[in-house]
Structures are given as structure tokens and as C-alpha cells.
Chains A and B, each alone.
Chain A
Amino acid sequence: MINIKNLSKKFGKNQVLNNINLVLEKGKVYGIVGENGSGKTTLFRCIAGMEKYKGEVEAIKNVKDYLGFLETESYFFPKITGREYIQLLCNAREKELVNLESKNIFNLPLDKYAITYSTGMKKKLALTAILLQGNDVFILDEPFNGVDIQSNIVITELIHKLKELGKLVLISSHIFSTLADTCDEIHLLEKGVFVKKVYKEDFSKLEEEMKLRTVTNKIDKLDLV
């Protein structure tokens, strides 16, 4: 379990996160939605301990040691192969990498340089690596971005499997349907503040509400004829 208490984060004078409180339990999938710049990625980086912040992130052990973090855009070294990337991440957690070929569920060209992969392939490589690390907590920042439809289905099933295994999963996505398919609860983040918490039965209401609030008015402003 992870208990986030009064978490705030500023970049200079810009208050990105303001007094965030959230309790995350194992075996549950949490979705975070919000517009670009609402603070989702910063929140994830704070939970992961990659950013300094005010407040507390309480956990039984040091969270980062059993956390798999899929970044929005993973960085790959220029001349590292897919296989070596996975090896590096497993070495970092002292996880022995056995029979990688059979675990390559996205059929990635593992002996090619990761930097030559397409956006979707890079995402799948980074995801495979954190899955093979054997983590207990997963933060997936935009896991469906740039990924083909078949892999989307596989990722959705993977999230279900992680939940079944009692893992804690935190996801952000701009594709609402993917969150609705996988999450137990969704938190709406606006300007660094959680403004709403919605359970599964009310996901469709939230989607409608978000459409009304964010899309309709903006499109009207274009005066399209």
C-alpha cells in the first residue's frame, strides 16, 4: 500500500501539484486523467522518488526498489539493443533473465538497436523490461500511446493480469476507454489538484462530463463552417 499525504510540488514559482492526498492499495488499478500539463507525470515522478517534493509518500519499503515505471517517452541509449536494455533493467534489480525469447510477447526485434524502433515498439520494449523486473507496483504513464490496436488489447489484458496477481497499478491515459476497461477508480487531476474521484459504475458519467467540459466549448470557439 502507498499512502500519499499532502504532496505538493513547485517548479520555480509554478505550483504543479498542490496538496495531493491519495491512498493506493495493492490489487487495484488506479487511473489518473487530466489535460496536458495538469501534473500527472510530475505526480508519477514524485511517487517514484525521481523529483523532490513537499509532503509524504508512505510505503512499507522504499517504493522505488519494487516499482516499474513506464515513462511517457522512455530514453534509450544510442547503441543499445532491445535485449541489452531488458538485461540492464533486470541486472539493476538482480533479476536473472532466463529464456527471453519466449517472454518477448510483442515480437520485438531484440537484437536491433532500440533507438531504431518505432514509437510503439519503444513503448512495448520499456513495458516488457519493467514487467520482467518482477515489480510489485507499476506506474504506466500513457502506456497506450503510439501502440497498435493488437498490442493495445495485449496491454489491457496485461493490466488485468497484474491486478489478478495483486499488483498495484497506476495509469494515465488520454484514451478514456482504455482506463474504463482497466481501472477500479479514476482520479481527475486539474491544475495540480484532485477534483474528482470516480468508481467503475460512474465512469461513463465522468466521460460525458469531461467531453462537455473540455471539448464542446473549445470546438465552438473555432467557428467551423
Chain B
Amino acid sequence: MKAYFQLQLKMLHRHFRDFGVVPILAYPLLIISFLGFSTFLYTKLLESAVFVYCFIAITTLFKLGEKKRNDFLKSCFAQKKYFKIRLLENTFLVLPFILFLTYQKDFLCAVTLYVIILLLSFITFNPITSFTIPTPFSKKPFEFSMGFRNTFFIYPLIYWLTYKAIEVNNFNLGVFSLVLLFVVLISYYSKTEKSYYVWIYNKSPKEFLERKMKTAFIYAIFLSLPISIMLSIFFQKHISIIIVFQLACFIYFMQAIVAKYAAYPEQVPIPTWILIGLSIGFPPCILFTFPYLYSKSIEKLNTTLHD
């Protein structure tokens, strides 16, 4: 069992290195990001924070419970060891959440969350089922159709947050639901596709990117407009802020698409993430980061699309 966890650690370090970060730097970065995100949630969402926080903690465990992965573990380890591994894995992953909940003095939630994750150690999920989840995005595969199937359960939460924001008259929560939607949409473009799926296009890199952005824009309008409209109706005095956030979300969404291809066919490297972070932290930077990432994407796509 020790060898198994050592191997997992080795693999994790390989992921860090592939991502362009040495492990010694990755850990502090992860801790800072986690603390920043958790504090942000707690300060912005107030009383709803704990539900969202627990929901996020539980969803991070789904990957570990995948049937195929667990079948493999079962074939490698005796039953007792297998359950020990599952319990330990789940504990390691959710420990930061539990510690933060304890720090926030949400002791009941911390205990409940731990009980839930212990129970989840005995459950496996089969993400590939014979049941095909219907999607409204079938006409323009693949990012939205696939992404929707992977994250369909988050949509009720997002729209529920918008509803809750209106009910408890918490404008920040409403804006958070809009931002959360775009974070989910950006995740659809986070993984680099195999070169075959770019190669098939008979388009120039410019046309290719325009097409990708157009599809993303149309579908994002379809999903985000209900939130913006509802917020505009119920928080009329903040209408200008809603417009600014909606526009900003679209601009950052488009930048994320462009950034994905700026290192193509490699995964988005750390320097690009830093640029993206910079443009979020200091929005005027996007005037430079967007054109830079766009021209890099054209250059990189050219090797696959042979314009």
C-alpha cells in the first residue's frame, strides 16, 4: 500500500512537471490558491458558502470513484486493502476542505462532510453508461456537448444560486453564479484535443479560431442570459455592474479559447496561465494579453492547419 501511494505521488509530480511547475513550487501555489478561493467563497457567499463549499468538496471525489479505476484497484489489492486505499485517498483529498471548515468553526459541516466522504469510499460511479445524456448542443460538437454531459449537475446549482441571490437580496451571490457559470464554460476548453480534431478543418487558423469563438459565444449567451436578465430585473440599480460582468465574462471566455491554442498541441503552460491571471487581476492587461495569445494561436495552429 505504501508503494501505491508513493507511485501516486510520483505520478502527481509528473503532472506538475508536465504543467511546467517544479513540485516544490506546486505545493505552496496550490495552498495559496486553495486558501484564496475558500476565503473568497466565504466572504462573498455568506450563509450559502458552506453548501457550495461542501458541494465542491464532494464533486472533487467523483474521479476517484470511477468504476474502471476501482475495478483496476480491486484486481490489484485484497478487499481490506482496497477499502483502506479508498478511505485514505478520499481523506487526503478532502482534508483541506475539512480543515478550512474547522477554521471557520463550521464543526457540524466538517463532521458531516467527513462522514459523507467516508461513505463515498464504498461507492463507485460509472461515468460511461449506456444512457446518453441529452444535450442541446449536439449540432456543434464537441466542447459544449461533451462539457454539458460532464457538468450537467452543476447547472441546477448555478441557477439555484441566482434564485437564492434574488430571494435573500444578495447581489454578490448573483454575480458569483454568473462568474461560476463562465468558470464551468471555460473548463470545457481547458483540455487540448488531439491534433486530428484540428487537422480535419479545411480552414485557416484565423477562420478556425473565429468559428470556435462564435460557437462558444452563441452557446454562452444561451446559458448566461437567463442569469443576467433575472439579476437585471431584481437588482435594477446594479444593472451597469451586471453588464460589465457579463461583458468581462465573455472577454475572458474568448481569451481562454485563444489561450488553449497558443501552445497547441501542448497543454496550456504556466507562463500562459500567469498571463491569464495577470489579465484577471489587472483587467487593462487584457488589451495586451488577448492580442498576444491570439497571434500565438494563429502561429501554432498553422502547423496543423497548413494555411
Binding site for B on A (CB under 8 A): 48-50, 52, 62, 64-66, 69, 71, 74-75, 77-81, 83-85, 87-89, 91-94, 111-113, 115-116, 133
Closest to A65 in B: B202
Cβ contact within 8 Å between B146 and A77: yes
Q: Which of B23-31, B97-105, B192-200 contacts A (4 or more CB under 8 A)?
A: B192-200
| B304 contact set on A, CB distance < 8 A | 50
B281 contacts A by Cβ under 8 Å: no
Decide yes or no: A92 and B128 within 8 Å by CB, A50-B196, A77-B142, A78-B146 being known contacts.
no
Question: Once the chains bind, are A49 and B306 in contact (CB under 8 Å)?
Answer: yes
**B202 x A93 contact (CB < 8 A):** yes
The residue that A71 contacts in the complex, of B196, B201, B305, with Cβ under 8 A, is B196
Q: Is B139 an interface residue (CB 8 A)?
A: yes
A62 touches B150 (CB 8 A): no
Whether the Cβ atoms of A80 and B128 lie closer than 8 Å is no
CB-defined contacts of B127 to chain A, threshold 8 Å: 78-79
Identify which of B9-17, B130-138, B219-227 touches chain A: B130-138
Q: Which of B133, B149, B200 is close to A89, meaning CB atoms less than 8 Å apart?
A: B200
- Known contacts A78-B127, A111-B132, A112-B130, A92 near B139 by CB under 8 Å: no
Query: What distance in Å separates the Cβ of B153 from its nearest Cβ neighbour in chain A?
Result: 14
Q: Kindly list chain B residues whose C-beta atoms are within 8 Å of the C-beta of A111.
A: 132
Q: Within the assembled complex, what's the spacing in Å between the Cα atoms of A89 and B141?
A: 9
Q: Is the CB of A116 within 8 A of B196?
A: no
A91-B141 contact given A50-B199, A75-B194, CB 8 Å threshold: yes
B128 contacts A78, C-beta separation under 8 Å: yes
> Which residues of chain A are within 8 angstroms of B142 by Cβ–Cβ distance?
77, 80, 84, 88
Tell me which residues across on chain B come within 8 A of A48, comparing CB atoms: 199
When distances are taken between beta carbons in the complex, the residues of chain B under 8 Å from A133 are: 200
Q: Other than A49-B306, A64-B306, A111-B132, give 14 A-B pairs with Cβ distance below 8 A.
A: A49-B199, A62-B306, A64-B202, A75-B197, A77-B193, A78-B128, A79-B145, A87-B139, A87-B140, A88-B197, A91-B140, A91-B141, A112-B130, A116-B128
A75 to B202 Cα, complex, angstroms: 19
Q: Are the CB atoms of A79 and B202 closer together than 8 Å? A: no
Give the distance in Å from the alpha carbon of A62 to the alpha carbon of B140 in the complex: 25
B303: A residues at CB distance < 8 A = 52
The 5 A-B pairs with the shortest beta carbon distances in the complex, nearest first, are A65-B202, A84-B141, A92-B200, A88-B141, A79-B149
Whether A113 contacts B196 in the complex (CB less than 8 A), given A65-B202, A87-B138, A91-B140, comes out as no
When C-beta atoms are compared, the residue in chain B nearest to A93 turns out to be B202
What per-residue 1/0 map shows which CB atoms of B127-170 lie under 8 Å from chain A? 11010110000111110011001100000000000000000000
* A78 to B142 CA separation, bound complex (whole angstroms): 10
Q: Cβ of A81 and Cβ of B132 under 8 Å apart?
A: yes
**A65 partner residues in chain B, CB cutoff 8 A:** 202
Nearest chain-A residue to B138 (Cβ)? A84
Question: Taking A78-B127, A79-B150, A93-B200 as contacts, is the C-beta distance between A85 and B141 under 8 angstroms?
Answer: yes
Report Cα–Cα, A79/B202, bound state, in Å: 24
For window 157-215 of B, CB contacts with A under 8 Å fall at 193-197, 199-203
B128 touches A115 (CB 8 A): yes
Q: Could you say which residues of chain B place their CB within 8 Å of the CB of A87?
A: 138-141
Which chain A residues border B195 with CB–CB below 8 Å?
50
Chain B contacts for A91, CB-based, 8 A = 140-141
Q: A83–B138 contact, CB under 8 A?
A: yes
Q: Across the two chains, which residue of chain A brings its CB closest to B149? A: A79
Report yes or no: B132 in contact with A113, Cβ–Cβ below 8 A.
yes
A7 → B minimal CB distance (Å): 16
- Within the assembled complex, what's the spacing in Å between the Cα atoms of A69 and B199? 10
Instruction: State in angstroms the CA–CA spacing of A112 and B130 once bound together.
Output: 7
Closest chain A CB from B72 CB (angstroms): 17
Expressed in whole angstroms, the Cα–Cα distance for A52 and B306 within the complex equals: 11
Contact with A along B264-307 (1 / 0, CB 8 A): 00000000000000000000000000000000000000011110
A60 to chain B, nearest CB (A): 14
CB nearest neighbor in A for B202: A65
A contact residues around B306 at 8 Å (CB): 49, 62, 64
Given A87-B138, A87-B141, check contact A75 B149 (CB 8 Å).
no
Given contacts A75-B196, A84-B138, A111-B132, whether A92 and B145 have CB atoms under 8 Å apart is no
Which interface residue of B146, B199, B202 has the most chain A CB atoms within 10 A?
B202
B142, B150, B197, most chain A CB atoms within 10 A: B142
Looking across the interface, which residue of chain B has its beta carbon closest to that of A84? Answer: B141
Q: Are A112 and B132 in contact (CB under 8 A)?
A: yes
* Bound form: Cα–Cα A83–B137 in Å: 12
In the complex, chain B residues whose CB is within 8 Å of the CB of A50: 195-196, 199, 304
